[in-house]
Amino acid sequence: MKTIVVIDGQGGGIGSIIIKKLREGYTERIEIIALGTNAVATANMLKAGANRGASGQNAIVQTTRHADMIIGPISIVMANAMLGELTPGMAEAVASSKARKILIPLSQENVAVVGVSSDRLPKLIETMLAENLLDLMPGKK
């Protein structure tokens, strides 16, 4: 079983959508851990179907060490992103993790990622699932 960590902040809206989509197609073969920069984000991701969840810097630092995959908006690797909720320690932990990182190019920061599609969130999540999680689909190895 693969451990997928979903990281989000503020209200956890992006993370919640990701978790719902993961649950639709990959229920049996993954454990989803919701990591929020705050308790509200974590609670919303747990409601969306995460197996477990935790909040704050230490939870992110410790849990990303053991993840197989980390999914979240691109800002999870940017110190002080999400209105300052994403600490430098959190960004370093995510970036340094040996886990595969799937970053969704949505950012409220003053950052432009050149060459990236400007699709809306639902389309980006569908693309992420199709291109990066095919091996977890039922009947695939």
Give yes or no for residue 140 having a pLDDT over 60. no
Q: What is the pTM of this model?
A: 0.86
Whether 8 maps to a domain, the answer reads yes
Confidence of residue 28 (pLDDT cuts 50, 70, 90): low
Whether 81 maps to a domain, the answer reads yes
Q: What is the pLDDT of residue 141?
A: 43
Give yes or no for residue 135 having a pLDDT over 90. no
Whether 27 maps to a domain, the answer reads yes
The DSSP letter of residue 7 is E
Q: Domain with 131 in it: what CATH number? A: 3.40.50.1220
Residue 25 phi/psi, 5° resolution? -120, -10
Residue 49 and residue 43 in contact, taking contact as beta carbons nearer than 8 Å: no
* Chain segment 62-117, per-residue pLDDT in tens: 999 999 999 999 999 999 999 899 999 999 999 999 999 999 887 676 787 777 77
Kindly state the tokens that stand for 80: 């002080």
Euclidean distance between CA atoms 110 and 108, whole angstroms: 7
Chain-wide mean pLDDT for the chain?
88
Domain count, the chain: 1
* Chain segment 38-63, per-residue pLDDT in tens: 999 999 999 999 999 999 999 999 99
* DSSP line for 14-81: HHHHHHHHHHHHHTTTEEEEEEESSHHHHHHHHHTT-SEEEESHHHHHHHHTT-SEEEEEGGGGSTTB
Give yes or no for residue 120 having a pLDDT over 90. no
Q: What is the pLDDT of residue 5?
A: 98
Whether 141 maps to a domain, the answer reads no
- Provide the residue range defining the domain that includes 9: 2-136
Residues 6 or more apart in contact with residue 57 via CB below 8 angstroms: 87, 89, 90
